[in-house]
Homo-oligomer: A and B are copies of this chain.
Amino acid sequence: MKTKEVTPHTLEIVQGGSITSPKGYKAGGLHCGIRKKKLDFGWFVSEVPASAAGVYTTNSFQAAPLKVTQESVAKENKLQAVVCNSGIANACTGEQGLQDAYDMRKLFAEVLGVEEHLAAVASTGLIGELLPMEKIHGAMAEINDEKHGGSEKFESAILTTDTKEKGIAIQLKIDGKTVTIGGAAKGSGMINPNMATMLSFITTDANIPSEHLSQALKDITNQSFNMITVDGDTSTNDMVLVLANGLAENEALSPEHKEWDQFYQGLRYVCEHLAKEIARDGEGATKLVEVTVEGATTDQSAQKIAKSIISSNLVKTAIHGADANWGRIITAIGYSGEPINPDKVSIYLGEIKVVEEGVPHPFNEEQAKDYLLQENVAIHAQLGDGNGKGIAWGCDLSYEYVRINASYRT
């Protein structure tokens, strides 16, 4: 069952779609015992080697699995299979941790019968603990058992403090062929620019060389995954991986292809959807907040200001309390470090104008409160200084965030 979505380009959302919606992908997940009860070990695999591209955390303490995965991708820019555990991040684990990540890749490739450099590994969870390798071994032995199959199991196995699975698939036409793009993600805490404790896996059956896939992913990541924040902390383990196995049999995509933009917007849609789902499901979050900044001198400047607003604890707590405290929004604009003209700034909460050209604009407090009580809140700042535009997503800051994080480890 499909529904039509009205966008500048025609793309269809696959109801119940996932990373296995594109041709030639299988996925699964199981409980191997790293976490108490929840699934903690997942994988997906393509029938054939796929063009691959990745974006990785900018944190100096990059976790062991990221090093191993980058090594895999570097070999010939292809991947065929990805394995991921939750519960332990295998970060800050020194030589032993690196060896464990290599072993995890080796075992996984062996059990699937793929070449080792076509396998990627990912981990998420606590920092500073070694993987229980005997449990990983046990899990590997069960990968080929049909009963563990299913994309929903994969989606579940990669979660940590997330409250729900995040999956999507869309379809579009290229060269008259149906191309499908699917995705799965986990987020929740340590979510901030330039990756975060965020893992995102995207699959497609499009035929696209890795160089163009890689460029598209980088561009789109800067407008999606890098524009969300939950708490401003960027983790050691974040990555986005895209696999494109070519089974849709379209002509090879490149920016010169007449339908390139169609594919690009489709990939963007999937990334933006997953990014927003991550923000909405931030630790303790009760709302998705979208901040749009227009009229900045450049897009980059607008993005930075949007991030400054959505990262402010004071803005986030005000929204949690449904308090139209625009002073905190204007303050966050003011300390963004970007050039602004205070006398030209106007601010809207949804459609309600609260600041006009730097001074308060009268508004109905009750109406504003009702608006802020909704699950989706939009903040809009018009700077009046140019054509730069940027959008960022985040969530409110709640008691629950403090509760979760004051006791996460112990």
Interface of A toward B, CB cutoff 8 Å: 58-61, 89, 91-94, 126-129, 189-190, 192, 194, 231-236, 311-314, 317-318, 320-321, 323-328, 330-335, 340, 342-343, 355, 358-360, 365, 369, 397-399, 401-403, 405-410
Interface residue from B89, B91, B313 paired with A231 (Cβ < 8 Å): B313
Interface centre among A189, A327, A330, A399 (most CB of B within 10 A): A327
For residue A221, give the distance in angstroms from its CB to the closest CB of chain B: 16
| A355 contact set on B, CB distance < 8 A | 92, 128
12 residue pairs of the A-B complex, CB under 8 angstroms, read A61-B334, A92-B358, A231-B313, A232-B312, A233-B335, A313-B401, A321-B405, A323-B407, A327-B409, A397-B402, A401-B402, A402-B402
A331 and B61 contacting across the interface, CB-CB below 8 Å: yes
Interface residue from B91, B327, B332, B340 paired with A92 (Cβ < 8 Å): B327
Closest chain B residue to A235 by CB distance?
A: B331
| A320 contact set on B, CB distance < 8 A | 402, 406
A409 and B334 contacting across the interface, CB-CB below 8 Å: no
| A89 contact set on B, CB distance < 8 A | 327
Interface residue from B128, B333, B402 paired with A61 (Cβ < 8 Å): B333
B409 and A318 contacting across the interface, CB-CB below 8 Å: yes
For residue A371, give the distance in angstroms from its CB to the closest CB of chain B: 14
A314 and B231 contacting across the interface, CB-CB below 8 Å: yes
A318 and B406 contacting across the interface, CB-CB below 8 Å: yes
| A313 contact set on B, CB distance < 8 A | 231-233, 313, 401, 405
| A311 contact set on B, CB distance < 8 A | 232
For residue A120, give the distance in angstroms from its CB to the closest CB of chain B: 22
A314 and B60 contacting across the interface, CB-CB below 8 Å: no
Known: A128-B360, A327-B128. A342 touches B60 (CB 8 A): yes
- Give the complex CA separation of A1 and B183 in angstroms: 70
For residue A240, give the distance in angstroms from its CB to the closest CB of chain B: 17
Closest chain B residue to A359 by CB distance?
A: B94
B407 and A321 contacting across the interface, CB-CB below 8 Å: yes
Known: A312-B233, A405-B314. A334 touches B60 (CB 8 A): yes
Interface centre among A93, A127, A235 (most CB of B within 10 A): A127
B318 and A408 contacting across the interface, CB-CB below 8 Å: yes
